[in-house]
Structure 1
Amino acid sequence: MGGVRRALLSAVAGVTVVAGCGAEDEQPPLPTLPPLGPAVAAAPVNGSPTTDPAELARRLLGPADLPGLTPVLDPRGPGQPEQAGPIAETRPAQCARVLLPLAEQGTEPLTWNTVAYNGPNFSSIDIDAASYSPEKMPAAFSAVQQTLRECTEYSGSDADGTAIEYWLGALDQPPVGDASTAFQLRTASAGFTLVSLVSIVQVGPVLAQVTITAPESVEPAALTDLTADQVARLRGVAGP
């Protein structure tokens, strides 16, 4: 596999924070994103699902695959809820599920796990994976895609009451894994914009969500390479 290619690190490390330099009351122009296409059906499941979160964690990309990025430790274990804290509001409420780990979107996996990494200039990479029984994979893949179609434009506020606007649209990515789809999300607040490019891919009994987030822009090729490496790892190809 050889790890994530240079395109990924160049895209993340080369990001410049532009929006944050303006006045806080400056709002970016409304983005025009391509509409989502038809939902993708899950492929027949080959292989046995895992019920061991540690085994799933070993099949996610690790620090050796992402040099120059800093792992973010999650104190929760798989299946544990978020710690209580200030409540942020999202309208419509179901759109709060966008970018959550697949397992936290009500998809009823057998087990799941996540990894996260921080890069420079507010950039980040998040990967989560969930293992499903063969009969539940189609509904899980469908449910995640249905949420995206209900949330092409939505809004909210953070715990301090600062307004946040979201726009979601299609993202052209090559097919990967057994079945896959991709989308992009723009998040704008107080003149600052974050861009997230996301792949959702099925590999046998596993659904994985791969996200790259950075201010202003991310090269789609970076997501292509990152997703391909994650698929290879899920298929048992060793990393560097």
Structure 2
Amino acid sequence: MDGVIRGRALLLVAATTALVAACGSPKSAAPAAPELPPLGPVAAAAPVTGSPIADADRLHDQLLTNTNLPPNFTLLPARAETPADAQGSPTDPAECVKVLTPLGEQLPGALTKSSVQYSGPNFSSIDIDAASYRDDAVAPAFSDVQATLRRCAHYSGTDATGIHVDYRVGGLAQPKAGDALAAFQVRTTSEGLTLNSSVAIVQVGNTLAQVAVTAPESVDAGVLSDLTAAQVRRLQGVVGP
């Protein structure tokens, strides 16, 4: 599923819950959300060491599991891979549909790719995906995904039911992790409801991994950094949480 859809189900469920909770309650205007900080400088990939992961099962086994996550997160069924010629929910600009999609789907040339998704309390979610590339493809892939973000600082979309969705992309400070790291945040707003995603894209040798934490409230930066560090350790073959 594309980036528009990734958080859409949560938005629609949140909308239903909010409407039920609001019955009989006086309406009050929600305070305007602060502007997101601008994206920082483009992070450069580090020189590649080691070998790419060519086996999909091996890569999948190196993604985070429930034991690495905060409490009360449940593994969701594996997502169906989107066919190359499939049309996702449209965005304006059109290329911004790539934002938050798995790296192996938005960037060509991956030798292997895998992803996992977890749902948590209060409409939160954790999405993790990874793609492994040949030596000469790692740096262009890392650069290309960051370039897309800069062209999609503000974009919009419409889901299958015609609901308008507004997206804002901004910078996010995160500690160093892996061989190279780029972090950002996305604020998704639809009919007065908001989801906040904090995202890290980290290089570990020939592999790029994307860790995204989404919730209606602002995501604690420490949650993302802890998950990113744990994902790096697993890709490095370190046993344990």
Aligned residues: 221
Compared with structure 1, are the counterparts of its residues 197 and 65 closer, same or farther at alpha carbon in structure 2 (3 Å cutoff)?
same
Q: Distance in 1 between matches of 2:67 and 2:33?
A: 38
Q: What are the Cα deviations for residues 88-108 of structure 1, in whole angstroms up to 9, with x where unaligned?
A: 221001000000000111331
CA distance in 2, matches of 1:196, 1:168: 9
Structure 2 equivalent of residue 56 of structure 1: 59
> Cα–Cα, structure 1 residues 170 and 143, in superposed 2: closer, same or farther, change >3 Å?
same
Q: CA deviation at 1:84?
A: 10
Instruction: Find the counterpart in structure 2 of residue 14 from structure 1.
Output: none
- Do the aligned partners of 2:68 and 2:227 also contact (CA within 8 Å) in 1? no
State whether residues 174 and 224 of structure 1, in contact with CA within 8 Å, keep that contact through their aligned partners in structure 2: yes
Range that drifts further, 115-124 or 26-35 = 26-35
- The aligned counterpart of 2:89 is 88
**Deviation by residue 1:156-215 (Cα, 9 ceiling, x = unmatched):** 111111111011100000111000010010000011100000000000010000000000
Partner of 2:155: 154
CA distance in 2 between counterparts of 1:140 and 1:75 reads 22
Residue 38 of structure 1, CA deviation: 1.3
Paired residue type of 1:178: D
Q: Give, as a single letter, the amino acid of the residue that structure 2 aligns with 1:59.
A: Q
* Match runs of 1:1-240 below 5 Å: 20=18, 29=32, 31-66=34-69, 67-76=71-80, 80-81=81-82, 88-240=89-241
Question: Which stretches of structure 1, 4 residues or more, deviate above 4 A after TM superposition?
Answer: 21-24, 82-87
* Aligned-pair CA distance for 1:36: 0.9
Gaps of 5+ in 1: 1-16
TM-score between the two structures when normalised by the length of structure 2: 0.84
Rounded Cα–Cα distance in structure 1 between residues aligned with 2:85 and 2:72: 32
CA contact (8 A) 2:72 2:121 kept: no
Matches of 2:226 and 2:128, distance apart in 1:
14
What is the identity percentage for the equivalent residue pairs of Structure 1 and Structure 2?
51
Residue 6 of structure 1: aligned partner:
none
Q: Take 2:131 and 2:94, find their aligned partners in 1: how far apart are those partners?
A: 23
SS in 1 for 2:198: strand
Give 5+ residue unaligned stretches, structure 2. Answer: 1-13
Specify the code of the residue in structure 2 equivalent to 1:58. D
The aligned counterpart of 2:4 is none
Tell me the amino acid that sits aligned with residue 221 of structure 1: G
For residues 168 and 146 of structure 2, the distance between their equivalents in structure 1, rounded to whole angstroms, comes to 15
More helix by share: 2
Q: Write the deviation string for residues 13-66 of structure 1: whole angstroms up to 9, x where unpaired.
A: xxxx79936699x77635401111111111111101011110001111112222
Question: Residues 89 and 97 of structure 2 are in contact (CA less than 8 Å); yes or no, is this contact kept in structure 1?
Answer: no
Q: Work out the CA distance in 1 between the residues paired with 2:130 and 2:211.
A: 9
8 Å contact 1:69–1:118 — kept in the other structure?
Answer: yes
CA deviations 1:207-235 (Å, max 9, x no partner) are 00000000021101110111011101111
Structure 2 counterpart SS, 1:43? coil
Q: Secondary structure at the match of 1:136?
A: helix
Q: Give the TM-score, by structure 1 length.
A: 0.85
What do you get for the CA RMSD once the two structures are aligned? 2.6
Q: Which has the higher contact order (CA 8 A, sep 6+)?
A: 1
Against the structure 1 CA distance between its residues 125 and 103, is the aligned structure 2 distance closer, same or farther, given a 3 Å change threshold?
A: same
